[in-house]
Structure 1
């Protein structure tokens, strides 16, 4: 891990495929805000708890101009199975190949383990990072912090 991108800096643009194979480009959300959430791996306990909390406690209360994008190194097919099983309707983006390229650009790729740590970035309508938090793999984030940062 090199160190995450700084608040106030431009968010690195990217295009990844979601759980349905649809290309999703970060810059396609300009004019609105994005909560970009990196997590280590699908079907794991802490990640499942975090994404369930997003589904149940964040998305229903988030401002209307906010889009949630989640990213892991899992394949699109893994994301589809997980989204179907858990009822995740937000984009689960695959940073599978080139492996971890987007997580690396945001400074949240654990190079030794080959997956992201828990990094969250709030990006404004101009594509600038306004808030971020990076937690170790074992430490879950609290979506209440996202709501506070967006208010």
Structure 2
């Protein structure tokens, strides 16, 4: 199944953001949202990709955008990884039932049991305005995200 495309309403989710707290997509309504699905904490490419996103957070704030990254790793793993990499955005755990949210977005790799490296920009109403799926071994960078945010109505 290909990833969801522009014009699609983003599927709702409620995922662990910490071991004892959850965050739902509906809680982010009213501002643009960047969803970054990635295969796994602690992998070299994912670490580099999320570090780039961490560096562009000031740019995202110019658009009042919220960034959340999603993988099938558990909340405790995310917590350790975020602290180690000094990440300043939420890592959401699509751990159990494993990959349900990634499947809803067309970004689950059944054969590998991990998420695709897929990006989505949602408008303030939760509609996907841009999506991109990068090869799993390649960091997609941030240019596409920034261009998509720039194209959103003011």
**Is the structural similarity TM-score above 0.5?**
yes
Q: Distance in 2 between matches of 1:39 and 1:134?
A: 10
Tell me the TM-score normalized by structure 1: 0.95
Q: Summarize deviations over 1:27-70 as a string: whole Å, max 9, x none.
A: 111110000000000000000000000111x1011124200010
Q: In the alignment, what sits opposite 1:10?
A: 9
TM normalised by structure 2 equals: 0.93
CA contact 1:100–1:115 (8 Å) conserved in 2:
yes
CA, structure 1 residues 144+20, in 2 after alignment: closer, same or farther (shift >3 Å)? farther
1:70 counterpart SS class: strand
Residue 24 of structure 1: aligned partner: 23
The list of structure 1 runs, each at least 4 consecutive aligned residues, that deviate by more than 3 angstroms after superposition, is: none
Structure 1 unaligned spans of 5+: none
Structure 2: gaps of 5 or more residues: none
**Count of residues in correspondence between the two structures:** 149
Q: Distance in 2 between matches of 1:71 and 1:25?
A: 12
2:122/2:129 contact within 8 Å kept: yes
CA contact (8 A) 2:63 2:149 kept: no
Counterparts in 2 of 1:24-103, with a 5 A limit?
24-56=23-55, 58-62=56-60, 63-103=62-102
CA-atom RMSD in angstroms: 1.0
